[in-house]
């Protein structure tokens, strides 16, 4: 629906339902025409909170390519094998229970997470993707006049969620595509309340070690909360995602997701582990029914299926090493990745863009990451063995100028 005042797309989308209802008289009032008095007054005087009009909509990885029935989608860091069988079964079994409201405390899912990760069940919160928990964190701890720090190549949602809370996003440089703890500490002011660190980084795939994270947590002022975003933590070997740091401190939260290793991006389930005071605060913001019956049961089954999780992790590590080496053979550099993607760095932006187009011609989608500060880069999700072979063959043809 288009607003008469030429209001931005975001606002028009958010208003479409109530405007429609009023225009059609569904609220019991007489229908208004498009030029009705009420409508014009609303669009001129109702304004969102400051900061919201600066938000640029998040753009997810593409899924479709004209001319292809089936594309090879390596643009969204999804699990190439799909959801584990146990999760599919659990989802089907919930069909008969959809008339029931879900549990409000997510006790079974939290227990499964706690048992697998050896965590305190009472300090876990579950959300509609880890995105929702990141949003709760900004709602709870950021506000106009306060600052939210994240690093140059950090996840795009940090800016969106900081602005959504009216806060000021503060971007800190990384060093050689790795989070720089000293630069973060130097950027902290009296207004800082949140620091987001993605570990492993997206789209870099690089990591900072547990000692660096501990130093950051220790040296931040007491009123600053460190959020360790572990969306890809499962892909890094011998890394607890920051859980032990959470246990040791009062100013650290770890966020995790079922969207990547567990192959449930379409289901929307994430979780966080934090100090009691933080989890208590976030629970006050959480809608009581934020996760449905199917989400809860499916995620629980996926978490308890350790055989599948181990298989996904091992295959990812094997194929990630293979892909990085194949790229190196083609003289395309990449940093050692600890996640389920590799950031391929080309000679320059022109070459990266040309390669991306060549891949499209072969029915392959990868992620352009200029918006993350890498105009010369393409982020390639680790697929199956056949997927990896296919993307490398396509890049090789491009490199050899065979088209
Ligand atoms: C770094 C990072 N954090 C958080 C998320 C959000 O994941 P979800 O909301 O699917 O749990 C993503 C998704 O791509 C991500 O890359």
What are the structural domain ranges in the chain? Answer: 9-47, 72-80+307-399, 85-305
What averages of pLDDT result for each successive group of 10 residues across the chain (403 residues)? Answer: 31 34 36 49 78 88 85 96 97 96 97 98 98 98 98 95 97 97 98 98 97 98 98 97 97 98 98 98 98 98 98 98 98 97 97 97 96 95 98 96 61
> Three-class SS of residue 91?
helix
CATH topology of domain 85-305: 3.40.640
> Three-class SS of residue 310?
helix
The CA distance from 325 to 15, in Å, is: 50
The CA distance from 255 to 158, in Å, is: 13
* β-bridge partners, 294: none
- Six-digit token string for 110: 């939290």
Nearest atom of ligand 1 to the alpha carbon of 154: 1
Phi/psi of residue 98, nearest 5 degrees: -75, -10
The CA distance from 37 to 24, in Å, is: 14
Determine the longest span between alpha carbons in the chain, in angstroms: 70
Pocket residues: Cβ below 6 A from ligand 1: 77, 129-131, 155, 198, 202, 229, 231, 257, 259, 265, 270
Nearest atom of ligand 1 to the alpha carbon of 260: 10
The CA distance from 272 to 288, in Å, is: 16
Residue to substitute in 61, 74, 129 for testing ligand 1 pocket (most ligand atoms within 8 angstroms of CB): 129
Identify the CATH number of the domain defined by range 72-80+307-399: 3.90.1150.10
Phi/psi of residue 282, nearest 5 degrees: -65, -35
Closest CA to ligand 1's atom 2: 231
Contacts of 379 (CB under 8 A, 6+ apart): 75, 77, 203, 341, 342, 343, 344, 366, 367, 369
Give the model's pLDDT for residue 31: 43
Closest CA to ligand 1's atom 4: 231
Give the model's pLDDT for residue 191: 98
Give the model's pLDDT for residue 379: 98
The CA distance from 74 to 380, in Å, is: 6
Scan for tokens 């996926």, then name that residue. 302
Give the model's pLDDT for residue 66: 86
Residue 377 near residue 203, CB atoms below 8 Å: yes
Task: Tell me if the bond preceding 148 is cis, omega within 30° of 0.
Answer: no
Contacts of 298 (CB under 8 A, 6+ apart): 83, 87, 90, 91, 94, 264, 267, 269
> Three-class SS of residue 150?
strand
134-135-136-142 Cα dihedral, nearest 10 degrees: 100
Q: How far is the CA of 231 from the centre of ligand 1 (A)?
A: 5
Q: How far is the CA of 1 from the centre of ligand 1 (A)?
A: 30
CB-count exposure of residue 151 (10 Å: 0-12, 13-18, 19+): buried
Residue 131 near residue 157, CB atoms below 8 Å: yes
Give the model's pLDDT for residue 340: 98
> Three-class SS of residue 200?
coil
Residue 279 near residue 271, CB atoms below 8 Å: no
């Amino acid at each position: 629906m288009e607003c008469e005042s030429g209001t931005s797309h975001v606002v028009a989308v958010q208003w479409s339902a109530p405007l429609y209802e009023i225009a059609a008289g569904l609220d019991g009032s007489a229908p208004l025409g498009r030029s009705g008095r009420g409508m014009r007054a609303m669009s001129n005087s109702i304004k969102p909170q400051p900061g919201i009009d600066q938000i640029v909509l998040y753009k997810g990885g593409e899924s479709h390519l004209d001319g292809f029935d089936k594309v090879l989608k390596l643009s969204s860091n999804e699990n190439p094998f799909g959801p584990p069988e146990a999760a599919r079964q659990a989802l089907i079994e919930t069909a008969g229970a959809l008339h029931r409201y879900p549990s409000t405390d997510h006790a079974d899912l939290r227990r499964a997470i706690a048992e697998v990760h050896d965590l305190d069940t009472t300090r876990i919160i579950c959300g509609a993707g880890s995105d929702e928990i990141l949003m709760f964190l900004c709602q709870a701890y950021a506000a106009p006049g306060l600052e939210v720090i994240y690093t140059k190549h950090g996840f795009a949602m940090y800016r969106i969620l900081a602005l959504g809370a009216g806060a000021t996003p503060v971007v800190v440089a990384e060093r050689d595509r790795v989070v720089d703890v000293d630069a973060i500490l130097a950027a902290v002011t009296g207004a800082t309340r949140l620091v987001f660190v993605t570990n492993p980084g997206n789209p870099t795939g690089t990591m900072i070690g547990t000692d660096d994270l501990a130093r950051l947590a220790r040296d931040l002022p007491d009123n600053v909360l460190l959020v360790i975003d572990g969306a890809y933590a499962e892909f890094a070997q011998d890394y607890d995602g920051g859980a032990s740091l959470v246990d040791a401190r009062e100013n650290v939260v770890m966020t995790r997701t079922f969207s990547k290793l567990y192959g449930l991006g379409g289901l929307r389930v994430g979780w966080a582990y934090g100090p009691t005071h933080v989890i208590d605060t976030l629970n006050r913001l959480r809608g009581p029914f934020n996760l449905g019956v199917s989400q809860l049961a499916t995620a629980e089954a996926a978490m308890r299926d350790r055989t599948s999780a181990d298989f996904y992790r091992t295959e990812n590590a094997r194929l990630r090493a293979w892909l990085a080496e194949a790229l190196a053979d083609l003289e395309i550099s990449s940093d050692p990745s600890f996640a389920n993607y590799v950031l391929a760095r080309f000679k320059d932006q022109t070459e990266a863009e040309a390669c991306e187009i060549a891949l499209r011609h072969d029915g392959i989608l990868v992620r352009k990451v200029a918006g993350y500060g890498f105009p010369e880069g393409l982020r390639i999700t680790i697929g199956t063995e056949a997927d990896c072979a296919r993307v490398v063959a396509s890049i090789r043809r491009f490199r050899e100028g065979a088209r």
